Amino acid sequence: MNERRVKHEDLRQLCAHLLEHVGLRARDALLVADSLVAANLRGTDSHGVARLPHYLNSIQVGSIESRPVIKIVRSRGATAVVDGGHGLGQLVNQFAIKLAMGRARKFGAGWVAIRNSSHCGALAYFGLQVACANMIGILFSHVDPMVLPYGSRKPFHGTNPICIALPAADEEVFCLDMATSIVPWNIIANAQIENKPIVRGLAVDAAGRETTDPHRVHALYPFGAHRGSGLGLAIDLLCSTLSGSPFGAHLPKMYGDLTQHRKLGGLVGAFDVAAFTSVVTFKRRVT
């Protein structure tokens, strides 16, 4: 595949223009574009601009709403439930994390469950916002079944990522953002686009046999055997049960019928460091 270097500012504008073309408001298009390019800049190409064609296709055929009505459907103290209106996950997560941060400023911590969302890109994009506000961010998301539970030959839950972000001294940030599968599914998707083999030990075909052919991949291994398997299942439970979202095999596939809403759930939280301890001391200790 031919490659050429482009300025990330130009790439961001191009992505935003394409998203506006399929109906997004200018500010929403720029946010989604920024999240994709930010992932590339962090080296997370699995969640970068390679996902844009899928977003555009999904909007055009109707599984993702270009101008979703995102609303709070339940609210109590430091917690809330948000309905994403089947919009792009970046827009839904941005709404939810800002809400969680607002609750954290008032109560010391805030938790928001999400329903009726879609693929939200890299969770780090939102976790870093929380950390830069002198808060701790903890974010979970789930997706359709593409990971083998430990000891199984058939997938049940998704790559189900977790992100934890903490502020540090000198404007530094600790940020963990990882899938609970051995690699994100979009590593496979990128290999399919580039027609390149994957390394052995990542995935199996439909018969449960290990494969290096990205076009034959049916499911991924969890990281750390039973550890990643258990954590992925726990995240599926958190994202589905608190929000009333589908779970496991009931979630529509990202690369399946593009006319179906994804109905993804999530859970995002923020903790105001100042409610627990000195911000200066905390950030110095993190560093």
pLDDT, residue 203, reads: 96
Q: Please, which residues have CB within 8 angstroms of residue 94's CB and are 6 or more apart in sequence?
A: 31, 126
pLDDT at residue 165 in the model: 98
Quote the CA–CA distance of 22 and 183 in Å, as a whole number: 31
- Residues 31-71 pLDDT 10s: 999 999 999 999 999 999 999 999 999 999 999 999 999 99
Residue percentage of the chain with pLDDT more than 70: 100
pLDDT higher than threshold 90 for residue 235: yes
User: Is the per-residue pLDDT at 139 higher than 80?
Assistant: yes
pLDDT of the residue at 98: 98
More confident residue, 249 or 71: 71
Tell me, what's the pLDDT at 178? 96
Mean pLDDT of 13-37: 98
Q: Residue 275 — pLDDT band, cuts 50, 70, 90?
A: very high
Q: Is residue 229 over pLDDT 80? A: yes
**Predicted confidence (pLDDT) at residue 263 exceeds the cutoff of 70:** yes
Instruction: Tell me if residue 245 falls in helix, strand or coil.
Output: coil
Q: Which helix (H) or strand (E) is 178 found in, with range?
A: strand 173-178
- pLDDT band at residue 3, thresholds of 50, 70 and 90? confident
pLDDT single digits (tens) 86-120: 999 999 999 999 999 999 999 999 999 999 999 99
Name residues whose C-beta falls within 8 Å of residue 209's C-beta, 6 or more positions apart in sequence: none
For residues 117-140, average pLDDT: 98
| Statement: residue 264 has pLDDT above 90 | yes
Q: Is the Cβ–Cβ distance between 199 and 205 less than 8 Å?
A: no
**pLDDT value of residue 4:** 85
Region of residue 22 (phi > 0: left; psi between -120 and 50: alpha; otherwise: beta) = alpha
For the stretch 72-94, pLDDT in tens is 999 999 999 999 999 999 999 99
Write down the pLDDT at residue 2. 73
The answer to whether the beta carbons of residues 71 and 83 sit under 8 Å apart is: yes
Domains and CATH numbers, the chain: 68-286 (3.30.1370.60)
Name the token pair of 204: 């199996």
Q: How do residues 162-206 score in pLDDT, each as one tens digit?
A: 999 999 999 999 999 999 999 999 889 889 989 999 999 999 999
Q: What pLDDT, on the 0 to 100 scale, is given for residue 267?
A: 98
